[in-house]
Amino acid sequence: MKLFVGLGNPGAEYAFNRHNVGFMAVDAIAAAHGFPAWRKRFQGVAAEGKLGGEQVLLLKPQTYVNESGRSVGEAVRFYKLDISDVIVFHDELDLVPGKVRVKTGGGTAGHNGLKSLTAHLGNDYVRVRIGIGHPGAKELVQHWVLHDFVKFDQFWLEPLLGAIANAAPDLAQGANDQFQSFVAHAMHMEAEARDERPEPAPRKRLDAPSTEGEKPAAAEISLGSRLRRWFGS
């Protein structure tokens, strides 16, 4: 079994914070691959299903970011997982918005959620670093991460979450480089398509029916609708 952990803070007031992009990523995976409803487990909410033939538990700790390790540690002990089976989705200040990088181990870069995970698990879990950009000064970081994404972010965030969800089976199978390459290619194609659209062309809605052969899954419907409600569009 693989454990996919999204980092974020519980509660409606935090739902669209930049710090909650990890929650958004596992929500997108759950929706795109038909996972059952979330239920309370391991001091969080969890949903279990299959990705790429692998059994996967999605987990959103409800302990707040700074204490995420308590929830994740409980799940790891229950399933007797190796630390290498833990894949964590989190916001990354040191990557520009829309960029994703996958790494195993390394430093925490001041991220309190990662600090908590490392304290409870050790360091060699897989991190899916989702770029949110840096506000430019250290004293602005807390406000930046605990502030909502703005409407402009819709143009990269919606396709990014879709690409992460679509490529999630690669992560479950340990094909981390393939996952990263797929997401990068999807975002490159999205940027090219957006540049070619006449203004003010609306973006393709995620709740439009997919054409035959396209990779996006049907469960992106709820994700796209939620994003448009958040952005007020």
Q: Which of 19, 33, 90, 111 is catalytic?
A: 19
- Taking the C-alpha atoms of residue 53 and residue 51, their distance in angstroms, rounded to an integer, is 5
* Token duo for residue 226: 């939620």
* Residue 206: count of CB within 10 angstroms of its CB: 25
Please check whether residue 86 is in contact with residue 127, taking contact to mean a CB–CB distance below 8 angstroms. Answer: no
Element (H, E) at 28: helix 21-32
134 is catalytic: no
- The letter for the amino acid at 55 is Q
Residue 89's alpha-carbon distances to 24, 68, 205, in angstroms, are: 9, 12, 25
Catalytic (active-site) positions: 19
